[in-house]
Amino acid sequence: MARDVEELKERLRQAEEQLAQAQKMEAIGRLTGGIAHDFNNLLTGILGYASLLKMYLPEGGEGHEAAACIERSARRASELTRQLLAYSRREAPRLRPLEIRRIVGEAIGILSRSVNENVEIRTDLRADPEPVMGDPGMLIQALLNLGENAVDAMPAGGVLTFSTGTFESDGETLFGDAPVPEGRYVTVGVSDTGSGIAESIRDQVFTPFFTTKAPGEGTGLGLPMVHSCVRSHGGYIRLASRPGQGTTVHVLLPVSDSEPSNI
């Protein structure tokens, strides 16, 4: 008697890989929980001294602006720590009504300081000023991750476009493979004119630690963090790509009845 065990071996190998990935995620959860307390203590000191500096420096001067920049950077670092905790499911997002165009504008402002000159950033902000319930730090970081991925896909230059719009679901609409409940949504799109993603790996791009970059050049956590952020906001995400023609990621976020607040 003969029995082909190759398929069984392949399933076993896949199961071992999934277990290894789960163990990595558990390790990240323990790591982020362990460092959050000490890191936030350091940030508290930085924020405190930056505030003191601002008190002793005349407004409008270079020193005052430098202290304000330190303060903003420390607050952003604190937001990043919270995002890691949220990703490891130790902390929920702090939702409040937001105007999505302000979130997109904030992300573009940060991204524009670091992209290469051969990458042009464009906007197509068509969404009505309808608020969404969101955590501003998490949403900004999610857009930054999408933007940085897009820039990496255009090493020779290209066009990076951020767009917004509105979407009405009848309850039977599929966004990717997920049915979207009936209601009104705000859409955010991030498009590039880069190398695109092969069809054979498109289903894996939101898998933790999956990356097409060379060793040492990527962690494979950028897109999974975006996916986790969108789902924690009650939203949906979809990716469309063609090799050599670029990639577009669309995000749906449910509209809120509350008035938007400042970031």
Q: 6-87 adopts what CATH topology?
A: Helix Hairpins (1.10.287)
Residue-wise pLDDT tens digits, 167-199: 898 888 888 778 889 999 999 999 999 988 888
Q: Please choose, from the candidates 26, 157, 173, the residue with its C-alpha nearest in 3D space to the C-alpha of residue 89.
A: 26
Distance CA 40, CA 77 (A): 9
44-86 pLDDT, tens digit per residue, is 888 888 888 888 888 888 888 888 888 888 877 776 666 556 5
Residues 6+ apart with CB under 8 A from 147: 107, 108, 111, 115, 160, 162, 190
User: What does the pLDDT look like over 13-24, one tens digit per residue?
Assistant: 877 877 776 676
- In 3D, which of 52, 88, 40, 71 has the Cα closest to residue 229? 88
Where do the structural domains in the chain lie, given as residue ranges? 6-87, 97-254
CATH assignment of 97-254, among 1.10.540.10, 1.10.357.10, 3.40.640.10, 3.30.565.10: 3.30.565.10
Residue 2 is predicted with a pLDDT of 65
